[in-house]
Amino acid sequence: MSLDRFTVATVNLYNLQLPGRAMNPGQEPWTAREYARKIAWLADRLRDLQADVVGLQELWHRDALVAALERARLDDDYDVLADQATGGRITCAALVRRGLLHGTPHWVDDFPPALRLHASDTHDPQAPDIDVRIRRFSRPVLRFAVTPRTDRPPVEVAVVHLKSKVPTRVEREPWFRADPDTFRPHVEALGAAISTIRRTAEAAALRVLLTDVMKRSDTPVVVLGDVNDGQHSNTVNILTGQPRYLVGDSRGGTDTGLYTAQTLQEYRDTRDVYYTHVHEDLRESLDHVLVSEQLYDNSRRRMWLFDGLTITNDHLATQDHRADGSNDHGLVRVAFRWAPVAA
């Protein structure tokens, strides 16, 4: 199989779990009726997307995803990468169009050995030592490869879901219980800081994994997922390496850089309406598609040309996602056209 057009998408499933099964603490399980609405809504969206690769977040049970595919009559079209979705925890997953999967997918729980977030000699006499002892991803990263072109190297794909901005609950910590009067007024700030530190560590760990694949390599890389931060956030800057964009036709590209599809779309548009999440009336871009230089228009090593980005986000206006079965994130779809740079 050799495609002339290659499409990818990222979808946060908003806790896709079987009815009656436990989910997050404090979250009511889906009733049979709510579950049916979720399956119907997701089936319609997957039928609309028709992407070659769909990265998925917040999947609890594989059977629920299969039910949505069957309802959409797409179950014969995709390989389902959801081995870890057995109902007990949130996982990343993916749908890969039949015939494209290369090798065996795997999930990465542990941070790579090359990640160390410890510094005692910062060349700044006013900066104290720092030691962040996080060793695992909150949500294991799904990694696999696809072959949209049999005459070129496989495309490496990572599906990710980094720690959210929701403040970490600290009320049960021993230090909090030992002196609650001191800490209770500051639980929001303390919890938000802990979540940010965790998300930053996860971004750095993923960056290490990606650099190992991309450095001095022609391997195309695509990252799909909910990184819980915006286009110019520190989280995304760590992931991308902040490469330059406007460098002239076929003259740019960075060996280990990643390019945000959001930015690529902005260069094609006269108006930016990219948002994938709404919280307290604040519209944010949390869900991203990041690509290596082989999928960047102006790269001297370009294989694929950016061919447009679309977002499905009208459903974010609803006040009750349980009522209509919708997700609480927008769906991002990005297309590429086979157009290698001439030698």
The pLDDT value recorded for residue 160 is: 98
The pLDDT value recorded for residue 272 is: 67
The pLDDT value recorded for residue 247 is: 61
Torsions phi, psi for 92 (to 5 deg): -90, 150
d(CA 46, CA 207): 29
Query: Nearest CA to 141 among 120, 124, 119, 158?
Result: 158
Could you read off the pLDDT of 8-29 as tens digits, one per residue?
999 999 999 999 999 998 899 9
The full set of domains in the chain, from first to last, is: 5-106+141-161+221-338 (3.60.10.10)
**How many other C-beta atoms are found inside a 10 Å radius of the C-beta of residue 238?**
20
CA distances from 55 to 162, 168, 268 (A): 14, 26, 24
- pTM of the entire structure? 0.94
| Angle value at C-alpha 149, between 147 and 154, nearest 5 degrees | 35
Torsions phi, psi for 206 (to 5 deg): -65, -40
The pLDDT value recorded for residue 97 is: 98
d(CA 8, CA 160): 14
What's the N-to-C CA distance of the chain in angstroms?
Answer: 24
The pLDDT value recorded for residue 245 is: 81
Tell me which residues of the chain have a pLDDT lower than 50: none
